[in-house]
């Protein structure tokens, strides 16, 4: 392992699984607790009758314990802590104790006390809120605690709040809350910390993360990488194309951008540099392809499961809807890296250095079995329960692990007993890895519950909607006055479109800014609580109608994912730069350029819901023929947009050609009228043949003879 790879691995561990390198009994204790968490979650899914709040509180209790054991408050790169300091023992015990207290006391709070908190309940609830914010600071950064604290401060401010005073009609949007009221909202019901978000984390997300951890420990991640390298590594810019394909395959089982960068980038970034990509471009390609892994069904990260819950739709319906955009996203990224290879005049790797695809497929064919069961059951069986399907897949792989180790161990002369031991060790490591990966998700969803709870108790969303409505109305009035002067144009339609477009651009900017400090899951939860209802109000959509709301939720979800590669805070870019040796900020900027096609795709989904299989006012209502039509024209639009942003098609584009490609791509956002479609295709063809003619007219370059 090179120094850069080691630093990237440390960065990933510090960000996602805890930065402490413990030894002796402390390391063993962490392993035992992590495995116990996995066993409990599997048991809960198996029995299926654990009380809702109890399940969520136990889930948070495990997360609290592991947070204070493995996530240090201060992180020193290259100098990981090897012991748990005494104060973290205290904080961890108190934090875990608050969750246990709620489990024991909640029946009394709900029945005997009628939902009114005693002084002791308020003290314990206050401790949980404070320690949760501290845990969030350690696991996902300082942005979430700051945002949550601001929201709580807002709830306390008002004529009847803890912080008294009338701020005036322009700022005072609610009457104010006392601290016991805030604690009651956040601590002792399922509309705050223990709301829908952590419920989805406890019930569904954990099992899918554990599935991904075991599947990777089986060796599937390396197998995906070898298949991708063998299939595409020999083509022009092949290592970059292999990075895209392997990230797409890994995205099926993992929703983490940073871990995808570290695991895949250790191989792909070096080979990309070898064929001629700069350190920054090699890292940026890995960042773009890895962050897009969260778009790949069926494991799209925790945010997707929460989205299904918010929309009150089956997860099966969501992953089917997400399939076409995910395919388009990765197909367009392949075009981007191909254009980059053409610009740089790059070649592929020698065929004799690449894995043979047929042999690689035969060597790991059995990896397809659990994956096929998971995907097939979720997509084909409408009665399938996602957590039950994930649990069955986990059981299947638990059986596969020792069988695999015994089989390969016998080939190397090892005994059956040794194979069983090796398989058991890998399973324990997978369980620990899965639990560690869940710490940040559990804490993030619990902390996001603070924000959602405050929005609910204060009605903040309605006030923000009124403010955005003023902006939208202003834009609409301006466009009505300006466009109304042009004869033959429907000024009302143009003004309405412009008003919605401005709101979407505001939502895009907010998502990107929030994403600089928040992980995708927390970003989506916050956007869905605050911004999605505003977009719905401006666009005249029914919040209770999933057919109308799915494009809005997918819009903010896509920009939340783009935030992973948005400078200056882009952890995935820093991890990639650590491996490539490039500048992390320049890597992030380049990755953002590659990700611009994802932004266009988000607008395509909003204005053309058929890309989400929505038709005839039904989810999954689009016919196969229409789906193919939509895919083809959307792909062409993304190719044109990528060529414009890359400033290259057949050769470098001039400003006029770039503008023509942009116009063509925007015309294909809604591929409805045949004349518009043909006009867009005509513009793209015109640019291509214009460039080809210019290439033929250039005199041949005379190369100097070798000495």
Q: Do residues 138 and 70 lie in contact, with contact meaning Cβ atoms separated by under 8 Å?
A: no
Can you say how many angstroms the Cα of residue 238 is from the centroid of all Cα atoms in its chain? 26
The pLDDT tens digits of the residues spanning 485-518 come to 777 777 777 888 888 998 999 888 888 887 776 7
671: which 2 tokens? 């591929």
Q: Residue 70's pLDDT band (boundaries 50, 70, 90)? A: very high
Q: Residue 705's pLDDT band (boundaries 50, 70, 90)? A: very low
Half-sphere exposure of 172 (CA within 13 A, CB side): 15
Distance CA 211, CA 393 (A): 7
Taking only Cα atoms into account, the Rg of the chain, rounded to an integer number of angstroms, comes to 26
The pLDDT tens digits of the residues spanning 509-560 come to 888 887 776 788 888 888 888 889 989 988 889 999 999 999 999 999 998 8
Of 110-114, 219-223, 504-508, 527-531, the poorest mean pLDDT is in 110-114
Distance CA 8, CA 149 (A): 31
- CB-based contacts of 310-313 (< 8 A; 24+ apart in sequence): 310/196, 310/528, 310/553, 311/546, 311/549, 311/550, 311/553, 312/546, 313/546, 313/550, 313/619
**Secondary structure E strands in 417-461:** none
Distance CA 287, CA 82 (A): 30
State percent of the chain over pLDDT 70.
91
Q: What's the mean pLDDT in 557-566?
A: 79
The pLDDT tens digits of the residues spanning 337-388 come to 999 999 988 888 888 888 899 999 999 999 999 999 999 998 888 888 899 9
Q: Residue 704's pLDDT band (boundaries 50, 70, 90)? A: very low
pLDDT of residue 394: 96
Q: What's the mean pLDDT in 71-91?
A: 82
Sign of the Cα torsion 287, 289, 290, 296 reads: positive
**3-state class (DSSP) for residue 18:** coil
188 pLDDT higher than 50: yes
Task: Report the Cα–Cα distance between both ends of the chain, in Å, rounded.
Answer: 40
Task: Give the predicted TM-score (pTM) of the model.
Answer: 0.89
The pLDDT tens digits of the residues spanning 605-620 come to 999 899 999 988 888 8
Q: Residue 297's pLDDT band (boundaries 50, 70, 90)? A: confident
């Amino acid at each position: 392992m090179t120094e850069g790879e080691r630093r990237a691995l440390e960065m990933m561990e510090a960000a996602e699984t805890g930065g402490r390198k413990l030894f002796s009994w402390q390391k063993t204790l962490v392993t035992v607790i992590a495995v116990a968490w996995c066993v409990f979650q599997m048991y809960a899914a198996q029995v299926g009758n654990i009380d809702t709040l109890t399940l969520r509180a136990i889930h948070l209790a495990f997360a609290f314990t592991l947070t204070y054991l493995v996530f240090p408050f201060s992180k020193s790169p290259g100098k990981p802590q090897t012991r748990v300091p005494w104060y973290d023992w205290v904080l961890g015990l108190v934090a875990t104790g608050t969750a246990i207290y709620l489990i024991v006391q909640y029946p009394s709070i709900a029945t005997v006390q009628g939902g009114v908190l005693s002084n002791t309940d308020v003290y314990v609830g206050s401790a949980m809120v404070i320690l949760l914010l501290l845990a969030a600071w350690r696991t996902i950064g300082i942005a979430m605690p700051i945002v949550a604290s601001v929201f709580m401060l807002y709830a306390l401010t008002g004529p009847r709040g803890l912080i008294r005073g009338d701020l005036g009609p322009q700022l005072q949007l609610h009457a104010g809350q006392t601290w016991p009221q805030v604690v009651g909202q956040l601590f002792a019901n399922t509309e705050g910390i223990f709301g829908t978000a952590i419920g989805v984390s406890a019930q569904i997300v954990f099992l899918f993360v554990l599935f991904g951890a075991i599947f990777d420990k089986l060796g599937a991640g390396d197998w995906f990488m070898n298949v991708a390298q063998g299939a595409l590594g020999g083509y022009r810019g092949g290592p970059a194309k292999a990075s895209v394909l392997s990230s797409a395959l890994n995205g099926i089982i993992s929703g983490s951008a940073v871990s995808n960068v570290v695991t895949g980038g250790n191989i792909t970034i070096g080979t990309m540099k070898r064929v001629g990509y700069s350190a920054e471009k090699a890292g940026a390609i890995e960042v773009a392809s890895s962050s897009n892994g969260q778009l790949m069904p069926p494991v799209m990260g925790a945010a997707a499961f929460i989205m299904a819950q918010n929309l009150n739709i089956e997860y099966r319906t969501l992953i089917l809807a997400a399939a076409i955009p995910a395919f388009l996203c990765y197909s367009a990224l392949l075009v981007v890296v191909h254009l980059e290879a053409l610009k740089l005049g790059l070649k592929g790797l020698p065929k004799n250095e690449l894995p043979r695809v047929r042999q690689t497929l035969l060597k790991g064919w059995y990896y397809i079995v659990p994956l096929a069961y998971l995907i097939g059951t979720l997509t084909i069986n409408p009665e399938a329960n996602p957590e039950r399907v994930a649990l069955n897949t986990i059981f299947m792989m638990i059986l596969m692990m020792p069988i695999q180790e015994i089989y390969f161990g016998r080939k190397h002369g090892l005994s059956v007993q040794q194979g069983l031991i090796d398989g058991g060790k890998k399973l324990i490591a997978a369980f620990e890895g899965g639990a560690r990966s869940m710490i940040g998700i559990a804490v993030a969803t619990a902390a996001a519950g603070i924000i959602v709870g405050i929005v609910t108790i204060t009605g903040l969303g309605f006030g923000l909607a009124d403010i955005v409505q003023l902006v939208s109305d202003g834009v609409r009035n301006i466009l009505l006055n300006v466009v109304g002067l042009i004869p033959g144009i429907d000024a009302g339609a143009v003004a309405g479109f412009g008003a919605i477009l401005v709101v979407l651009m505001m939502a895009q900017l907010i998502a990107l800014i929030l994403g600089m400090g928040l992980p995708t899951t927390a970003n989506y939860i916050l956007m869905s609580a605050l911004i999605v209802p505003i977009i719905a109000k401006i666009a005249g959509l029914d919040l209770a109608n999933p057919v109308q709301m799915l494009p809005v939720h997918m819009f903010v979800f896509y920009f939340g994912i783009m935030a992973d590669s948005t400078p200056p805070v882009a952890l995935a870019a820093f991890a990639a730069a650590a491996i490539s040796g490039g500048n992390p900020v320049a890597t992030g900027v380049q990755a953002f350029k590659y990700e611009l096609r994802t932004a266009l795709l988000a607008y395509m989904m909003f204005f053309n819901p058929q890309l989400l299989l929505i038709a005839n006012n039904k989810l999954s209502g689009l016919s196969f023929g229409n789906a193919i039509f939509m895919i083809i024209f959307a792909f062409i639009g993304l190719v044109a947009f990528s060529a414009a942003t890359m400033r290259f098609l057949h050769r470098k584009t001039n400003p006029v050609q770039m503008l023509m490609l942009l116009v063509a791509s925007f015309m294909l956002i809604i591929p409805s009228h045949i004349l518009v479609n043909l006009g867009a295709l005509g513009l793209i063809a015109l640019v291509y043949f214009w460039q080809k003619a210019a290439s033929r007219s250039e005199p041949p370059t005379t190369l100097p003879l070798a000495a």
